[in-house]
Structure 1
Amino acid sequence: MMSISIKPGPEEKVLIGVALDVLSTYTTTPDECYFCMWTGWGSAVGDDVPRFEIPNRDYWLFRGTLADYADWSVENSARWPWGSSPDPAFIWPADHAWCITNDVDPHFAIIAAPEEAIIRIVADSRIDAVLDDPDIVPPYWH
């Protein structure tokens, strides 16, 4: 019988946090940011939380500071009454200086940001990041 040992890596929350650490210097609105959570994770979080739709996905829209991401997975019954919240699917500052999307299906996040910020993220040893080529379809998990 063969055994496989899988070395655990950093949680997605930690990896996104590294990217946000770099991106924080590329926004003029760190105190006004938006976080979207996919509605497919479970029941409604409350009628007072705004919702919006894009093709094939519905999201709840939360507003806060960039620093609020550090507490995202902490139990917050106003956001998610069942314990730790799933990771946000989108994060962006009010000035639209950059955006991170971390959808539920792919095994990667996409970051749109100024070139200098992307270069810094790719060079950061705390995160496994590569440049994206829009002409190459990313690999899929089957």
Structure 2
Amino acid sequence: MIDQTRPVVLLVSRIAIGVIFLVHGYQKFVTMGIAGTAEFFAAAGIPLPGLAAPAVAGLEVAGGLALVLGAALPVAGSLLALDMIGAIVFVHGANGLAGDGGYEFVLALAAASLAVGFTGGGALALDNALARRRPAQPATT
């Protein structure tokens, strides 16, 4: 039974985590705006906030979409985990693990991004669908 449910569980997990990143990236682009995000990044001590703001927003949107689709999972999962480690270092770390502004949520997102990124995404991932469609490579001698 576990083997039959694994693809669905991985799909639901990828979608949930991906949507969280999509929403956070969207907020940086639209709700706060890139200028507002850059101001927040500058106040938090993030280096090169004018470059970091669109880069992080773009990463969160593209990486979130990659998780939802199950595409480029090791790359997307690793980059999103690094994004969350940056959020811990620059924004949430000083607030402790739990509590107001704590880093428990971003730590969980970092761990989940790595877990989803390196599971292969399951049978319902785009990466796996593309791998099944590739012709077998001839052996080299």
TM-score normalised by L of structure 1: 0.28
| Bigger fraction of residues in strand | 1
**Structure with the larger RCO, 1 or 2 (CA within 8 Å, 6+ apart):** 2
Higher normalized helix content (fraction of residues): 2
Q: Which has the larger radius of gyration?
A: 2
